[in-house]
Homo-oligomer: A and B are copies of this chain.
Amino acid sequence: MDITTLTPLFNFDEMAGAAQNSNGLTGRDILSVAQFDREMLSYIFARGREMREMVQRVGGVDMLKGYVLACLFYEPSTRTSSSFIAAMERLGGSVIPITSGVKFSSVSKGETLADTVRTLEQYADAIVLRHPEIGAAQKAADYASVPVLNAGDGAGEHPTQALLDLFTIREELGRVDGLNVAMVGDLRYGRTVHSLTKLLLRYDVSLRFVSPEILRLPLNIMNKVIDASVDVRETHEVADVIENADVLYVTRVQKERFSDLAQYEGVKDHYVITPDLMEKAKNKMVVMHPLPRVGEIHYSVDNDPRAAYFRQVKNGMFIRMALLAAVLGKA
């Protein structure tokens, strides 16, 4: 093989230019929603829109041809891993799928996360990490020289989920400023609710938090909301918010959270979205859910044009395509 005659898969000058156009994301880790100000969000969403248009028109491109992504999942998450895999493949890149075997493998037998990550970066150009422990993604990023994308670290962050949630609101309703966003269900433990709330505080929104008493938003998040001086109310009933909501972001109320099952039985139906309830909602609004759902949105709501949760799933692929292209220097 005469290396001098190879057609380069990318042009270095062009890449340098691209890096300037990646809004500073080239080579960066994606660890937390705290990284994303409004300008950066606008940039990511513009790229997400380009990805959607590209997929609709041609399915896939060669933008990341020759690049390899390691998907390292210490706990299985078919939805998230499939989204990243499809994103990388539609950009022409390849994947090392470590999506179910980690716990059986020598990699996890006593090896530190730091060593595992420094091993995988020898093979791959970026690493997607799902890990059950808070802070795992930051730790991985501390050791890796390639970009690390946090795909969920326990009760910590899941930034790409929050980005796709916000992107969905923006795409479905044309704007974020001025919207009334109601979060419903388990607001205490719901990681997606916390991250999306943080992002929404960068906009001029009204927030409504609807939950059972024992699943109210934690203090630390609520204090951030208060500090941001946005219009905010808490309530126990979806009925209180349904008429004015532009966005109904629904999460699951898990039986396991209640020590008193009678209490659970007493409240659970207050947080189920039904066609009857939807009749009271605006004509132009959206129902969202991070999925999987287990009964908290009636299946008969699925055909309502306001049911956006599957479009939300698709937006996840576009946002991850945008992020992968950006951190790998392809603007």
- Segment of A79-87, A238-246, A264-272 in the binding face: A79-87
Chain A 312-328 residues near chain B, CB threshold 8 A: 313-314, 316-317
Which residue of B54, B57, B76 contacts A106 across the interface (Cβ within 8 Å)? B76
Whether B78 lies near A66 (C-beta < 8 A) is: no
Which residue of B3, B79, B98 contacts A54 across the interface (Cβ within 8 Å)? B3
Contacts of A105 in B (CB 8 A): 76-78, 100
Contacts of A229 in B (CB 8 A): none
Whether B78 lies near A317 (C-beta < 8 A) is: no
A122 in the interface (beta carbon within 8 A) = yes
- Segment of A26-34, A155-163, A174-182, A287-295 in the binding face: A287-295
Q: A115-B293, A314-B122 are in contact. Are A59 and B1 (CB under 8 A)?
A: no
The chain B residue sitting closest to A61, CB to CB, is: B6
The chain B residue sitting closest to A143, CB to CB, is: B302
The chain B residue sitting closest to A50, CB to CB, is: B1
Chain A 4-28 residues near chain B, CB threshold 8 A: 6, 8-10
A65 in the interface (beta carbon within 8 A) = yes
Contacts of A60 in B (CB 8 A): 9, 65-68, 94
A194 in the interface (beta carbon within 8 A) = no
Whether B76 lies near A101 (C-beta < 8 A) is: yes
Complex CA gap A70/B102 in Å reads 19
Which residue of B8, B63, B82, B89 contacts A98 across the interface (Cβ within 8 Å)? B82
The chain B residue sitting closest to A112, CB to CB, is: B299
Contacts of A118 in B (CB 8 A): 310, 313
Complex CA gap A298/B76 in Å reads 31
Interface size range of chain A in the complex: 35 or more
Complex CA gap A313/B107 in Å reads 13
Chain A 36-59 residues near chain B, CB threshold 8 A: 47, 50, 53-54, 57-59
Q: A66-B90, A90-B66, A98-B78 are in contact. Are A122 and B58 (CB under 8 A)?
A: no
Which residue of B1, B9, B82 contacts A123 across the interface (Cβ within 8 Å)? B82
Whether B99 lies near A78 (C-beta < 8 A) is: no
Whether A89 lies near B94 (C-beta < 8 A) is: yes
A226 in the interface (beta carbon within 8 A) = no
Whether B53 lies near A59 (C-beta < 8 A) is: no
Mark A residues whose CB is within 8 Å of B. 1, 3, 6, 8-10, 47, 50, 53-54, 57-61, 63, 65-68, 70, 76-79, 82-83, 85-86, 89-90, 94-102, 104-107, 109-111, 114-116, 118-120, 122-125, 291-294, 299, 310-311, 313-314, 316-317, 331
Known: A9-B58, A78-B116. 16 other contacts (CB 8 A): A3-B54, A9-B61, A59-B67, A60-B66, A66-B90, A78-B98, A78-B107, A82-B119, A85-B96, A86-B94, A89-B95, A100-B100, A100-B105, A115-B291, A122-B310, A123-B317
The contact sample of 19 A-B pairs, CB cut-off 8 A, is A1-B50, A6-B54, A9-B58, A9-B60, A9-B61, A58-B66, A60-B67, A68-B90, A76-B105, A78-B98, A82-B96, A82-B119, A85-B96, A86-B96, A89-B95, A114-B299, A116-B292, A122-B310, A122-B311
